[in-house]
Amino acid sequence: MAVEALKWVGDVDGYLELVDQRRLPGELVKLQCRGIEQLHEAIRTLAVRGAPAIGVSAAYGLVLAAQKPGGRDSLEHALKVLGECGRYLASSRPTAVNLFWALERVRRCAEEFVAAQPNSGLRDLRRAILTEAHAVYQEDVEMCRRIGENGQHFIREGSGVLTHCNAGALATAGQGTALSVMFEAKKSGRNFTVYADETRPLLQGARLTAWELKEAGIDVVLVCDSMAGWLMKQGKVNAVITGADRIAANGDTANKIGTYSLSILAKKHSVPFYVAAPSSTFDLSITSGADIPIEQRDADEVTSFAGARIAPDDIDVCNPAFDVTEARDISAIITERGVIENPDARSIAQHLAPETSSQKQPKGVTD
Ligand code: MRU
């Protein structure tokens, strides 16, 4: 069974339990998040990370926020507190759209609950929020599984697959996105080798992806980021599969820094480049990748390695946490709904359009 990155413990007065990803693979330690300040810090410092996991955690963050208003507070006051706490949690990281998507979804649910049942108590509101957060969690689990099923055929018997950063169970509520494709290919009986980029500067590939794949019994080879091109030149990589933090309406995709370079290398070597992501990672309000906010992180992530200083004092540092891969360099985007080949604004809009009952496809049929 895949590691459980996060889970809610207890009822409306409960707390969020997170695997502290800063300490993996050395130690598997759980964090108990009992307040939004603690959760904000956990997201900012990557104790919980990966776009879907951040989103689901934030949804539960509003359950924690709703624990604040007490006995005599009105529902209107509780909604005000939720709004403030939501804005605070939204300031924890700027790029993964799942964070804002989940916060907005739960906030709207609370607002609709109060509008529909203005005479109910605070505990009823808390229950409505917890139910919605559980739904966000459960849907993510299901989306991950379906992404894996929809993409597993892209991994051929005996092939080499390269991935970057961590888009596994640790990055979601379920079994991951890019890694879910690998887990499902393995389940279908195929043997293949995954090349896991170490992913400088924070080493999510070395610390998390290599660990997850090894635990799952998948053949994994750890490589430095700079080795990808040479592996492709030697014919060792037959597909690149990554996750995503935000996908613009035209298919331009933000993911961990280094993903853009991989897409260029893949094109040069005629290696297909796949993005695996749930529909909650699309941001149709943004027309192209140029408008995706890119997080800039602290210089010491680059100037230090495993706690030791590796650069001169006072050196200037550039540390963008994400980059944007152009849609034209993406062979296909794999979602829980199916596969978008050669993604562009039209195919994405069509893929994400709400299904009417007459259009609904039977279970298991993909685009
Ligand atoms: O900075 P991180 O570790 O949160 O970055 C995560 C990634 O870039 C993942 O590839 C992405 O969120 C997809 S997770 C299924």
Give the tens place of pLDDT for each residue, 176-197: 999 999 999 999 999 999 999 9
With a 6 A CB cut-off, is 43 part of the ligand 1 pocket? no
**At how many degrees (to 10) do helices 122-151 and 97-116 cross?**
140
Q: Which strand ranges, in their side-by-side order, compose the sheet holding 30-33?
A: 6-9, 15-19, 30-33
In the block, residue with structure tokens 């496809």: 361
What are the domain boundaries of the chain?
6-146, 148-359
Q: Is 38 in the pocket of ligand 1 (CB under 6 A)?
A: no
> Which atom of ligand 1 is the closest one to the Cα of 176?
15
Ligand 1 within 6 A of 147 CB?
A: no
Q: How confident is the model at residue 69 (pLDDT cuts 50, 70, 90)?
A: confident
129 lines ligand 1 (CB under 6 A): no
Q: Tell me whether residue 245 is one of the annotated catalytic residues.
A: yes
Residue with the two structure tokens 């660990």: 211
Rounded distance, CA 47 to CA 63, Å? 19
Ligand 1 centroid from CA 212, angstroms = 14
The shares of helix, strand and coil residues in the chain, as percent rounded to the nearest 5, are 45, 15, 40
Question: CA-CA distance, 20 to 351, in Å (whole number)?
Answer: 35
CB 238 within 8 A of CB 46: no
Report the separation in Å between the CA atom of 81 and the middle of ligand 1, taken as the mean of its atom positions: 29
* 51 CA distance to ligand 1 middle (Å): 6
Query: Closest by alpha carbon to 191, among 182, 178, 202?
Result: 182
Do residues 170 and 178 make contact, with C-beta atoms less than 8 angstroms apart? no
Query: Is the confidence at residue 365, as pLDDT, over 50?
Result: no
Give 129-140 pLDDT, tens digit per residue: 999 999 999 999
Residues 126 and 65 sit within 8 Å (Cβ to Cβ): no
- The mean per-residue pLDDT over the stretch 336-365 comes to 79
Q: Is 243 in the pocket of ligand 1 (CB under 6 A)?
A: yes
Q: Is the CB of 52 under 6 A from ligand 1?
A: yes
How remote is the CA of residue 49 from the centroid of ligand 1, in Å? 6
Annotated active-site residue in 225, 245, 252, 323: 245
For residue 170, the CA-to-ligand 1 centroid distance in Å is: 10
Res. 363 pLDDT band, cuts 50 70 90: very low
Q: Which CATH class is domain 6-146?
A: mainly alpha
What CATH code is assigned to 148-359?
3.40.50.10470
Residue nearest to atom 10 of ligand 1 (CA): 243
pLDDT in tens, 241-266: 999 999 999 999 999 999 999 999 99
Distance CA 24, CA 123 (A): 37
